[in-house]
């Protein structure tokens, strides 16, 4: 992770941007409340780490580490 603050499972985060296209229902969920809780991590494209976030509305999605910040 490139962030100065460590993000662990259970950390409260805010989605600050999205680099890729996402489904319309996820766009609406982020517009309503872009905060959530880290539920885990996943390897993306063989060299990066994705952060799995459960949003306030109950949806779960993963984001690149540079798309989130500590809430």
- Would the pLDDT of 3 be above 70? no
Tell me which residue of 29, 32, 37 sits closest to 13, measured CA to CA. 37
| pLDDT given for residue 4 in this prediction | 59
- Would the pLDDT of 63 be above 80? yes
Mean pLDDT of 10-15: 97
| Global confidence as pTM | 0.86
Separation of alpha carbons 63 and 68, rounded Å: 7
Summarised one tens digit per residue, pLDDT across range 25-60 is 999 999 999 999 999 999 887 778 899 999 998 999
| pLDDT given for residue 46 in this prediction | 74
Mean pLDDT of 4-16: 90
């Amino acid at each position: 992770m490139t962030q100065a603050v460590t993000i662990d499972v259970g950390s409260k985060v805010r989605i600050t941007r999205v680099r890729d296209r996402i489904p319309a229902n996820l766009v609406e969920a982020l517009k309503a409340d872009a905060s959530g809780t880290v539920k885990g991590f996943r390897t993306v494209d063989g060299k990066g780490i994705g952060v799995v976030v459960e949003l306030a509305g109950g949806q779960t999605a993963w984001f690149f580490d540079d798309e989130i910040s500590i809430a």
